[in-house]
Amino acid sequence: MGKPVIGISTYLEPSVRWGVWDLPAAVLPSGYHRLVQRAGGLAVLLPPDDPAQAAAAVAATDGLVISGGPDVEPVRYGAERHPRTGPAYPERDVWELALIEAALASGTPLLGICRGMQLLNVALGGTLTQHLPETVGHDGHAERPGVFGHHEIKPVPGTRLGAILPESMSVPTFHHQAIERFGRGLIATAHAEDGTTEAVEPAEGGGFVLAVQWHPEAGEDLRLMEALVEAARPA
């Protein structure tokens, strides 16, 4: 039996440098595909495309990861832009929202990471806090530009996440936005010490749908990705 194919969404950047080149490129930090590989999956990258092709892209995979990245454009959840919200990446927003909708419709196992959690919430009608330090009163979720910090999260017992990660733990973190109003059917399944929602999943059971605000690809814990890979394993 072959390894489950895990699709991972990518960035689309106007300028990326390598060697003598400086060109537009679809890129992804290597931690993502390496985490999938270490967890027993076959990683394939899904760069932004025509959203009409999202269902076909999801059908070609056994599981889906929506990766981290830039802020979601506030228009996606009916909000005015905050001064601290980053530049818009509309092509990526539209593509990843279409991937999420296709995965939910098909029952394809889905894991959202950081931005991926925020997009899952938006796809289901939720909203985002655009600059978290104004809400929690500190910069502990993104202390230094370009450097992952760490903080404690506490999973909620009796949830899918709580079964995968039953203990409080320190996680790699880098974000300045978070869930404000929950999308349809989503519940919080982990919190930071300051109350920030750190994981969500559907309140009702069904297939594997889980999203976390932290960055497992920047750590050594394989359990989340192993759970996705196992859920994606063909019967």
Which residues are tagged catalytic?
A: 114, 215, 217
The Cα angle at residue 12 between residues 85 and 78, in degrees rounded to 5:
35
**3-class secondary structure, 193:** coil
Q: Which sign, positive or negative, has the C-alpha torsion 165, 216, 31, 97?
A: positive
Token pair 């978290």 is at which residue? 132
Residues paired with 199 in a beta bridge: 190, 212
- Both tokens of residue 69? 């990245």
On the CB side of 86, CA atoms within 13 Å amount to 10
Rounded to whole angstroms, what are the CA distances from 58 to 10, 51, 103, 162?
A: 14, 11, 6, 27
Q: Looking up tokens 């269902």, which residue turns up?
A: 55
> What gap in Å lies between CA 229 and CA 222, rounded to an integer?
10
